[in-house]
Structures are given as structure tokens and as C-alpha cells.
């Protein structure tokens, strides 16, 4: 039997720091490949780029995979990390449909000594590693300020 952490355990020790840079992974409910649908993926991307998030976050890189989102961003001064992710989940659920996301999310606070361009390249290369495409440039659902 494989031990899977409960979403409450994912929150243990989590804290938000205004100005902190985070890599967050959010997974669809039951890992359903919702974002194979081009329009669903674009709705999520539109929400990430929405001006309401411009005061809350600065997106550095993201990739929308068939059943999850990887998002690298700098948290603003307005809200906590958990509130920011809840807002993304809420807005996309309203736009795409109910029971879209699994509970919780995984986050990694980026340390000052980590190479941000390398982290961004790792994120956007996910479709290649997953075998969805042979090169990043042909996958339509990603963006990064470095690559």
C-alpha cells in the first residue's frame, strides 16, 4: 500500500511571504485530463493573466498539463499563498465546471540561491518529459519570462 499524504498534511508548515517566489502544482480532481480540451486550458491561462492577479502575483512561468498546472510566481502584498490558489481554483471552477480541482496543492518556496531561469525551463519542459510533444515550442499552453 502506497502512503499518500492527506491535503491537510500538505498544509503543515506552510507559510506565505509577501514577495516570496513559489512553484505551485495544482491537480485536477481524480487527475481527469480536463485541459486536453484546448478551450479549457485557454480559460485557465486567461485567468492567470487576468488583471486582478496583476496586483496579487507576478507570473514568471507556467505550463498547463492535461491534468495539472505548474505555476511559478512571485506573491504580492495583498493576500496569502493559500488565498491566491483558492482564488485561481474558484475562478476556473466557475469558468470551466464544478469539481475541477482536487483539494490542496503542492508548493515549493524558491530559495534566493536557486536559478530561476533553470526552474522556469524545467517547468515548461514538462510536456516534452511527459511525451506530449517532442519540443517545447509546439506545446500551446505555457509561457515564461525566461527560457
Give the tens place of pLDDT for each residue, 87-142: 999 999 999 999 999 999 999 999 988 899 999 999 999 999 999 999 999 999 99
pLDDT in tens, 63-87: 999 999 999 999 998 789 999 999 9
If one counts the domains in the chain, the total is: 1
Looking at the chain, how many residues does it have?
A: 147
DSSP characters over 61-96: EEEEETTEEEEEEEE-SSS-HHHHHHHHHHHHHHHH
Decide if 71 is inside a domain.
Answer: yes
Rounded CA-CA distance 73/19 in Å is 9
Decide if 136 is inside a domain.
Answer: no
Residues of the domain holding 103: 18-129
Decide if 70 is inside a domain.
Answer: yes
Q: How far apart are the first and last CA of the chain?
A: 40
pLDDT in tens, 94-106: 999 999 999 999 9
Cell (9 digits) for 146? 525566461
Q: Are 82 and 143 in contact (CB under 8 A)?
A: no
Instruction: Provide the CATH number for the domain around residue 69.
Output: 3.30.70.1290
DSSP, collapsed to helix, strand or coil, labels residue 115 as: coil
Amino acid at each position: 500500500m502506497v502512503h499518500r499524504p492527506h491535503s491537510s498534511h500538505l498544509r503543515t508548515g506552510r507559510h506565505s511571504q509577501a514577495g516570496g517566489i513559489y512553484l505551485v502544482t495544482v491537480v485536477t480532481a481524480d487527475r481527469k485530463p480536463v485541459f486536453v480540451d484546448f478551450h479549457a486550458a485557454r480559460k485557465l491561462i486567461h485567468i492567470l493573466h487576468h488583471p486582478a492577479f496583476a496586483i496579487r502575483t507576478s507570473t514568471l512561468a507556467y505550463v498547463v498539463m492535461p491534468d495539472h498546472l505548474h505555476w511559478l510566481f512571485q506573491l504580492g502584498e495583498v493576500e496569502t499563498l493559500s488565498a491566491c490558489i483558492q482564488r485561481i481554483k474558484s475562478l476556473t471552477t466557475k469558468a470551466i465546471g464544478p469539481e475541477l480541482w482536487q483539494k490542496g496543492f503542492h508548493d515549493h518556496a524558491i530559495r534566493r540561491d536557486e536559478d530561476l531561469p533553470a526552474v522556469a525551463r524545467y517547468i515548461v519542459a514538462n510536456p516534452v518529459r511527459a511525451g506530449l510533444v517532442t519540443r517545447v515550442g509546439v506545446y500551446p499552453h505555457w509561457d515564461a519570462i525566461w527560457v
